[in-house]
Amino acid sequence: MSDRVPSDSDAVDTHRAHVETVGRTARPRVPVPEAIDLAVGDVIRLSLEGDTYHTQIAEALDGTPDIRGAFANARLARTPNEGEDHLRPWTEAVGLSAGDPVLVDVVTPGFKIGLRRPGERVVYEATDAPSGSLADIARDLDG
């Protein structure tokens, strides 16, 4: 089942982070706030102000989880060198650069989060996470 839920709803848990870059590159990354229960390696849905993609939670140099890409599907999120990354084009299109704040919305815990600029209101499609067995089948088909 899927419902539409606005980012300012009580059903959405919002956290503040800041855009950073990976090493000396201009490639953006967004640290996952500690209060969000995601682990390195998790593949989740990622909304960039309403457009849905997939991302695999990466590991920063200090061992903390972060978001480094936004891809068309889960398989491409697991193999980012094969697909088009939409995170950098999004940050550039909305004028975000290193040091700028970004809001991280938990839409469906452990399954879908959203990124948006402070002051922007987004309406998300809040899709229920698949059951464990369905997620395993999908992972097998993607891999």
Residue 123: per-residue pLDDT: 96
Residue 133 has pLDDT above 80, yes or no: no
Residue 119: per-residue pLDDT: 96
Count of Cβ atoms closer than 10 Å to residue 45 Cβ: 21
Q: Which domains does the chain show, CATH number per domain?
A: 2-142 (2.40.330)
- pLDDT tens track for 32-86: 999 999 999 999 999 999 899 999 999 998 899 999 999 999 999 999 788 999 9
- pLDDT tens track for 89-112: 999 999 999 999 999 999 999 999
Quick one: CA dihedral 94, 16, 33, 49, positive or negative?
Answer: negative
**What predicted TM-score, i.e. pTM, was given to this entire model?**
0.87
Residue 140 has pLDDT above 70, yes or no: no
Burial of 102 (0-12, 13-18, 19+ CB in 10 A): buried
Residue 51: per-residue pLDDT: 95
